[in-house]
């Protein structure tokens, strides 16, 4: 292909990406930045025989369009459509299922070793962004680099979601921009060749350039780890990419090709606002979600409490901390894609007298379990972990659903775990957590439920318009009844209300659980003793979740009641256009719950009638006396 043809292909790919992300949402700027790289990779390498592994894999759109998914690309992130990340179930060209940062180098090294041990002969290529390079996992892999043939492509655009942070970012940036080296490059390209004896001079200076380069460029950093360094080159020049990739392909050792790209390349809006266009939402998603409320409330609290500091792992924008960062720059710490460090760093801040608020997505918190266990809970340090995106993240899918945090956190002693039913309660919980002086986790989803908005009150709820008072380990009774008890967590309180409204023939008690830990034992005891059926509802997997905790309590206290958990099953939940589609797929809609409740209710009476012979069983409950 000629240069012009590459440009045309790149333009076409960019148009597809722009059009699709505008309607479906997705990662825009990162993908626009690697169009030329993807073209060159698929020109030089033979996928799926050769294995191309993307770090995070949020930048795989051009790869998908160039392999076997051009026709399906409009279904990106939609129900039964293609995933926004690489997914081996979708195509043999996608090597790993991934969406978390820092995994590409370790997995690529593993594949390179396996290939050699099994005497196979394909290439393994890892594409890593400059921010993922600084992730602890990548650094551990670098430290473990062997001699197996492996090509690492460092896609250096200076950005994570926001500007990349830390010393490695500065080092890469400073060195590749070094004026002396660049002056030599310009001189060679433009002038030396025109001088008398120009060719000789170019050769001489090229040798000198290599020496200077090895002194100034990041080569020494990578070569210390055993990676031959090639670059830096222009990542938007396909011919330059082809030439260098061909060179890398011929090497029989691990090497790193450093390419410089511009995030959002080819679209002026994305180029000028890479933070805003890293990931864009579908037009249907309205926002004053929980993150915004969190960001504003933490600013309010910080005004009167100078001990409050905020920590994020490369998610300033997503977690709503941008406002705090603007107002309290010196009290806000973006530590890069380093969730474990973010929490242990928070432990240090707390130990020395500050009050850290670490905002982190549920799915990425999975990276930091030991830091919570070992560095925070074990010493009972006052810290607030604000767990954003807890629950379903429909468009992103299994790598991003926040469906496991209760299960892994609940087992850790000392932790307080809570979830607000709405944004107002999030504000109240943040305020309470500041005063609890404990290791507190507050989980909340991205979006405010569709049936409510901030300020809304539930039918039958008492004292609606005052800030809810949060007492440690105490739930909130939304409505009192005597037959069926629904104990819901977070946004699912709205679902409980809807169920009760749709089944007016039954008498429902509705409890807003609020605390997963400590559980409200008094409330649970009353509910078990005064109802016929009990249900828990939560946006989390069934195993080890809130309902699981409730059932453990009932069992331990020998409280007999027919109890059932409404939650996600023990499966990886795929991506979809929206949560509603997933609820249908997994029989977790309001309709499904209503059906189950009706069936259980008839079974209950059938059982009671049989047990008591004439229907006078002691299991028929009394009027609810929930405090
Ligand atoms: C463990 C983890 N933490 C946070 C994220 C959220 N995240 C997705 S992409 C991204 C930035 C990646 O930057 P970089 O690797 O430089 O790639 P670029 O988007 O700049 O091409 C972040 C922080 C993640 N995917 N995984």
Task: Give, using CA atoms, the residue closest to atom 11 of ligand 1.
Answer: 160
Answer whether 242's CB lies under 8 Å from 234's CB: no
Nearest atom, ligand 1, residue 399 CA = 25
Distance CA 186, CA 182 (A): 6
Q: What token pair was written down for 533?
A: 């059926």
Residue in 33, 456, 94, 486 with CA at minimum distance from that of residue 478: 486
Is residue 361 helix, strand or coil? Answer: strand
Distance CA 284, CA 460 (A): 31
Distance CA 463, CA 454 (A): 15
* CA–centroid distance, residue 279 to ligand 1 (Å): 10
Task: Give, using CA atoms, the residue closest to atom 4 of ligand 1.
Answer: 337
* CA–centroid distance, residue 317 to ligand 1 (Å): 12
* CA–centroid distance, residue 361 to ligand 1 (Å): 12
Distance CA 264, CA 273 (A): 8
Strands (E), 275-341: 279-280, 308-312, 332-334
| pLDDT reading at 184 higher than 90 | no
| Fold classification of 290-443 (topology level) | Rossmann fold (3.40.50)
* CA–centroid distance, residue 100 to ligand 1 (Å): 7
Nearest atom, ligand 1, residue 159 CA = 20
Distance CA 451, CA 455 (A): 12
- Long-range contact list for 344-349, CB < 8 A, 24+ apart? 344/371, 344/375, 345/311, 346/311, 346/376, 346/383, 346/385, 347/371, 347/375, 347/376, 347/379, 347/381, 347/383, 349/309, 349/311
pLDDT, position 462: 47
Distance CA 179, CA 476 (A): 64
Nearest atom, ligand 1, residue 100 CA = 26
* CA–centroid distance, residue 131 to ligand 1 (Å): 7
How much is the average pLDDT of 161-172? Answer: 82
> pLDDT band at residue 161, thresholds of 50, 70 and 90?
confident
Pick 215 or 363 by higher pLDDT. Answer: 363
| Ligand 1 binding pocket mutation candidate from 53, 160, 399 (most atoms within 8 A of CB) | 160
Domain 3-164+228-271 top-level CATH class: alpha beta
| pLDDT reading at 139 higher than 90 | yes
How much is the average pLDDT of 71-95? Answer: 97
How much is the average pLDDT of 86-115? Answer: 97
Domain boundaries, the chain: 3-164+228-271, 290-443, 476-612
Q: Report which secondary-structure segment, H or E, holds 443.
A: strand 439-443
Distance CA 542, CA 567 (A): 5
pLDDT, position 216: 64
Distance CA 465, CA 130 (A): 48
- What stretches of 217-321 show up as alpha helix (H) in DSSP? 219-223, 238-249, 268-272, 274-277, 290-304
Say which DSSP state 469 is in: P
- By annotation, the residues acting in catalysis are 263, 339, 367
Of the options 3.40.720.10, 3.90.180.10, 3.40.50.920, 3.40.50.300, the CATH number for the domain spanning 476-612: 3.40.50.920
Is residue 375 helix, strand or coil? Answer: helix
Distance CA 339, CA 375 (A): 13
Tell me the per-residue pLDDT of 348-357, one tens digit each, with 9 for 90 and over: 999 999 999 9
Tell me the per-residue pLDDT of 427-446, one tens digit each, with 9 for 90 and over: 999 999 999 999 999 999 99
Nearest atom, ligand 1, residue 55 CA = 15
Q: What token pair was written down for 235?
A: 């990542």
Rounded alpha-carbon distances, angstroms, from residue 386 to 280, 314, 319, 406, 416:
22, 15, 9, 13, 12
* CA–centroid distance, residue 101 to ligand 1 (Å): 6
| Ligand 1 binding pocket mutation candidate from 38, 334, 337 (most atoms within 8 A of CB) | 337
Q: Is the dihedral of CA 159, 160, 164, 166 positive or negative?
A: negative
| Ligand 1 binding pocket mutation candidate from 34, 101, 152 (most atoms within 8 A of CB) | 101
Whole-model pTM?
Answer: 0.91
Q: Is the CB of 132 under 6 A from ligand 1?
A: yes
Nearest atom, ligand 1, residue 278 CA = 19
Is residue 184 helix, strand or coil? Answer: helix
| Ligand 1 binding pocket mutation candidate from 131, 280, 339, 363 (most atoms within 8 A of CB) | 131
**Intrachain domains 290-443 and 476-612 with the same fold:** yes
* CA–centroid distance, residue 522 to ligand 1 (Å): 44
Q: Is the CB of 255 under 6 A from ligand 1?
A: no
Sequence-separated (6 or more) residues with CB below 8 Å from residue 362: 387, 388, 389, 390, 391, 402, 403, 404, 405, 443
Tell me the per-residue pLDDT of 309-333, one tens digit each, with 9 for 90 and over: 999 999 999 999 999 999 999 999 9
* 124-129: strand order across its sheet: 51-54, 124-129, 150-156, 254-260, 228-234
pLDDT, position 171: 80
Report CA Rg, the chain.
28
Q: Is the CB of 126 under 6 A from ligand 1?
A: no
């Amino acid at each position: 292909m000629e240069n012009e043809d590459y440009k045309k292909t790149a333009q076409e790919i960019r148009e597809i990406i722009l059009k699709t992300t505008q309607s479906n949402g997705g990662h825009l700027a990162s993908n626009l930045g690697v169009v030329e790289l993807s073209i060159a990779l698929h020109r030089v390498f033979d996928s799926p025989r050769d294995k191309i592994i993307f770090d995070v894999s949020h930048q795989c759109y051009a790869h998908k369009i160039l392999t076997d998914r051009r026709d399906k690309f409009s279904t990106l992130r939609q129900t039964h459509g293609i995933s926004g990340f690489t997914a081996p179930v979708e195509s043999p060209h996608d090597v790993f299922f991934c969406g978390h940062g820092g995994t590409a180098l370790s997995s690529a090294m593993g594949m390179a070793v396996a290939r050699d041990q099994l005497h196979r002969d394909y290439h393994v290529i890892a594409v890593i962004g400059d921010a993922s390079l600084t992730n602890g996992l990548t650094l551990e892999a670098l430290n473990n680099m062997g001699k197996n043939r492996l090509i690492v492509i460092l896609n250096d655009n200076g950005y994570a979601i926001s500007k990349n942070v830390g010393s490695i970012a500065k080092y890469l940036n400073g060195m590749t921009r070094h004026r002396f080296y660049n002056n030599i490059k310009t001189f060679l390209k433009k002038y030396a060749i025109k001088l008398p004896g120009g060719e000789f001079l170019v050769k001489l200076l090229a040798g000198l350039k290599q020496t200077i380069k090895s002194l100034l460029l990041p080569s020494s950093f990578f070569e210390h780890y055993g990676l031959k360094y090639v670059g830096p080159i222009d990542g938007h020049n396909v011919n330059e990419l082809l030439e260098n990739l061909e060179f890398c392909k011929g090497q029989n050792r691990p090497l790193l090709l450093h390419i410089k790209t511009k995030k959002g390349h080819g679209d002026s809006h994305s180029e000028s606002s890479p933070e805003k266009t890293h990931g864009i939402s579908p037009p249907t998603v309205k926002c004053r979600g929980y993150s915004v409320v969190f960001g504003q409330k933490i600013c309010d609290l910080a005004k009167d409490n100078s001990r409050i500091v905020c920590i994020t792992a490369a998610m300033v924008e997503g977690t709503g901390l941008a406002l705090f960062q603007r107002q309290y720059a010196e009290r806000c710490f973006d530590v890069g894609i380093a969730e474990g460090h973010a929490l242990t760093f928070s432990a240090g801040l707390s130990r020395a007298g500050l009050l850290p608020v670490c905002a982190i997505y549920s799915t990425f918190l999975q990276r930091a379990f030991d830091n919570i266990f070992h560095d925070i809970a074990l010493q009972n340090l006052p810290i607030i972990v604000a767990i954003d995106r807890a629950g379903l993240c429909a468009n992103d899918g299994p790598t991003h659903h926040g469906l496991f945090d209760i299960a892994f956190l609940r087992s850790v002693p000392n932790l307080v775990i809570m979830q607000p039913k709405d944004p107002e309660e999030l504000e109240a919980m943040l305020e309470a957590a500041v005063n609890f002086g404990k290791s507190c986790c507050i989980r909340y989803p991205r979006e405010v439920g569709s049936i409510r908005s901030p300020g809304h009150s539930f039918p039958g709820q008492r004292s609606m318009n005052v800030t809810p008072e949060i007492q440690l380990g105490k739930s909130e009774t939304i409505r009192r009844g005597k037959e069926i008890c629904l104990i819901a967590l977070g946004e699912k309180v709205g679902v409980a209300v809807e169920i009760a409204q749709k089944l007016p023939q039954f008498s429902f008690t509705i409890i807003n659980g609020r605390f997963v830990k400590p559980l409200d034992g008094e409330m649970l005891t009353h509910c078990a003793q005064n109802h016929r059926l009990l249900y828990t509802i939560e946006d989390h997997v069934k195993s080890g979740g809130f309902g699981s905790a409730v059932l453990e309590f009932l069992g331990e206290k020998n409280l007999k009641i027919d109890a059932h958990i409404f939650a996600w099953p023990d499966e990886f939940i795929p991506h979809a256009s929206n949560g509603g589609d997933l609820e249908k797929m997994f029989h977790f809609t309001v309709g499904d719950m209503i059906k189950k409740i009706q069936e259980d209710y008839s079974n209950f009476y059938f059982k009671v009638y049989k047990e008591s012979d004439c229907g006078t069983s002691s299991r028929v409950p009394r009027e609810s006396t929930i405090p």
